[in-house]
Amino acid sequence: MEISKFGKCLALVASFFVSSLVFAVNLQTNEYLKEYNEYLGENTFTKNIVEYNLTAATSLLAVAGKKSVSTWSYNLQIPGPILRVKQGDNVKINFTNTLPVKTTIHWHGMRVPNAMDGVPIVTQKPVMPGASFTYEFGLVDAGTYWFHPHVRSHEQVEKGLYGVFIVESNEDPEYDDEIVLVLDDWLLNDEGQIEDSFDINGGDLNAEGRLGNVITVNGKPLPTFDVKAGARIRLRVINASNARNYRFKIPSAEAVIFAVDGNLSGRTLALNEINIAPGNRVDIDIKIPHSKEGNSIEGTIFDIKNTFFHREARGNILKGPQVLAKLRIKGSVDIVKDFPVPLADNVPKWSGALKTPINETFSFDTKLDFGAFFSGGPLVSFVINGKKYGEHIPTKMALNQFQHYRITNGTGLYHPIHFHGMFFKVLSRDGKKVDEPFFRDTALLDYDGSLEIGVIAKDPGSWMMHCHLLEHSALGMMTLIEVK
């Protein structure tokens, strides 16, 4: 055989191999889509429309252990109101901005039409001082969600603009009680006011972001919740902090996590299995004992502890574990409920997903920015693939197609990675395969670590992907994903 013919033949064989490989991958990822569709189920909507009014305003409130803190809030409360709607119903939220600054509302983790996602310029015009905007959408997924502004979030969320969105499902079991815990930390100055260091380099805009000196649950340091002996309780936990991570421990209580970021897990998870990074939510099932060796446990206290250690911070509550809240036994239930912990039985495994080709790599990094520095800005910018927000060409992502993304961390810092408009599944962490039996919208990227994720977009539009450490996103660590 002549050499050129041999070459052609080889090329033919090679291209046959490549195309059959592509074919095999496609077969597999089509299977992933099928599994995912079955897991999500059909979107069906009722005709019910639940209406809420939300007003963002400047306020003086008793929060963080102080009598009167100058804050920004929704409906003059921190956290803002709990919006509670049934899966399949629709909401109409009449939002009015009475703040001196522009804002928007983003429905964190919720799959809403792109135009309702609350990202300024990208999905809507910012809501100017004195102006209003109506958010309307159907509730596709049940679970624990939250909402917050997407304009200067590092300042607006910190000043108190956040609220909880609960979407109930008909399959939710009847707990004796439900307790919502919104975690936040506040950086207060000597006057007991929120430290105004939002745009200061080496202030908030230091590497670790704003870590506060007062941790609060529902706006209060160390609150106590009364619970009945023998009660079955659902905790809905939301981390609304700018930069602080948490991990729970509730000594001597029978407690497991059964949902992450609103999504039911395929198996129960130990409390210490899940880091609750900024933006994350977990749902916890607790069985409060009825008695102890036949004796009443009236008055007994269960501590909810935080065991996540941050390496460094300007705040002064660095030594853990810290107690975040207490559960105190008061009274007892008549009947101890014994239903199984709610779990999802059809979470796609996507077990071969790590072997599929990587469609995109996002490297989270810092970069010296002398241009910005000499015009009075920050010296360090926080970038994704070398560019800060506004400099990227949006990443293209095909609708209904499995994507394998790799996310790397070139910094010695934490980055909670958040995708708008879609859920993803963590496939590997720091190079090691993991079996996370659930989908999420935010995952903590460990310092110098990496993540591989699998994701299928179900809704077209321009969706944000960013670091949810809000000072990092303020410094540029955001980008857009264009789903078509």
Look-up: residue for tokens 């209406």?
Answer: 51
| Assigned token pair, 274 | 């899940």
Pairing of strands 403-409, 360-368: parallel
CB of 110 to ligand C2O, least distance (A): 10
* Chain centroid to CA 5: 57
For residues 144 and 244, what is the distance between their CA atoms, to the nearest angstrom?
19
305 in contact with Cu ion (CB under 5 A): no
CB of 144 to ligand C2O, least distance (A): 13
Q: Name the percent of the chain in helix, strand, coil, to the closest 5.
A: 15, 40, 45
Look-up: residue for tokens 């929704």?
Answer: 74
By CB under 6 A, name the one of 59, 97, 106, 286 that touches ligand C2O: 106
The SS3 of residue 83 is: strand
CB of 106 to ligand C2O, least distance (A): 5
**Which span sits near ligand C2O by CB under 6 A: 48-56, 199-207, 453-461, 462-470?**
462-470
The listed partner (ligand C2O, Cu ion, none) that binds 472, CB under 5 to 8 Å by sort, is: Cu ion
**Taking CB under 6 A as the rule, which mask of x and - marks residues 277-316 in contact with ligand C2O?**
--x-------------------------------------
CB of 318 to ligand C2O, least distance (A): 25
In this complex, which beta carbon is closest to ligand C2O, that of residue 154 or of residue 232? 154
Name which of residues 132 to 151 contact Cu ion (CB under 5 A). none
By CB under 5 A, name the one of 315, 472, 474, 481 that touches Cu ion: 472
Using the Cα atoms of residue 272, residue 274, residue 278 and residue 282 in order, give the sign of their dihedral.
negative
146, 240 contact by CB (below 8 A): yes
**Binding-site size, Cu ion (CB under 5 A):** 4
**Taking CB under 5 A as the rule, which mask of x and - marks residues 391-430 in contact with Cu ion?**
------------------------x---------------
434, 389 contact by CB (below 8 A): no
CB of 464 to ligand C2O, least distance (A): 5
CB of 191 to ligand C2O, least distance (A): 30
**Which span sits near ligand C2O by CB under 6 A: 43-51, 78-86, 137-145, 464-472?**
464-472
What is the rounded (10 degree) CA torsion for 373, 375, 377, 381? -50
For residues 332 and 345, what is the distance between their CA atoms, to the nearest angstrom?
33
In 307-429, the DSSP E strands lie at 322-332, 360-368, 380-384, 395-397, 403-409, 415-419, 424-429
Using the Cα atoms of residue 471, residue 472, residue 477 and residue 482 in order, give the sign of their dihedral.
negative
- C-beta nearest to ligand C2O: residue: 108
In this complex, which beta carbon is closest to ligand C2O, that of residue 329 or of residue 383? 383
For residues 346 and 339, what is the distance between their CA atoms, to the nearest angstrom?
19
Name which of residues 133 to 172 contact ligand C2O (CB under 6 A). 148, 150
The listed partner (Cu ion, ligand C2O, none) that binds 464, CB under 5 to 8 Å by sort, is: ligand C2O
In this complex, which beta carbon is closest to ligand C2O, that of residue 304 or of residue 474? 474
Which stretch of DSSP H or E encloses residue 11? Answer: helix 3-40
Using the Cα atoms of residue 435, residue 458, residue 145 and residue 70 in order, give the sign of their dihedral.
positive
467 in contact with Cu ion (CB under 5 A): yes
In this complex, which beta carbon is closest to Cu ion, that of residue 215 or of residue 444? 444
| Assigned token pair, 390 | 């506004």
238 in contact with ligand C2O (CB under 6 A): no
CB of 435 to ligand C2O, least distance (A): 26
The SS3 of residue 450 is: strand
**Which span sits near ligand C2O by CB under 6 A: 60-68, 69-77, 292-300, 463-471?**
463-471
* Chain centroid to CA 21: 36
242, 343 contact by CB (below 8 A): no
466 in contact with ligand C2O (CB under 6 A): yes
Q: Tell me whether the omega of the peptide bond preceding residue 321 falls within 30 degrees of 0, making it cis.
A: yes
Pairing of strands 132-138, 90-97: antiparallel
The listed partner (Cu ion, ligand C2O, none) that binds 415, CB under 5 to 8 Å by sort, is: Cu ion
The listed partner (ligand C2O, Cu ion, none) that binds 388, CB under 5 to 8 Å by sort, is: none
The listed partner (Cu ion, ligand C2O, none) that binds 466, CB under 5 to 8 Å by sort, is: ligand C2O
418 in contact with ligand C2O (CB under 6 A): yes
CB of 21 to ligand C2O, least distance (A): 36
By the 10 Å C-beta count (0-12 exposed, 13-18 middle, 19+ buried), 151 is classed as: buried
Which amino acid appears at position 83 of this protein?
L
Chain residues binding ligand C2O by CB under 6 A are 106, 108, 148, 150, 279, 418, 420, 464, 466, 468
Chain residues binding Cu ion by CB under 5 A are 415, 467, 469, 472
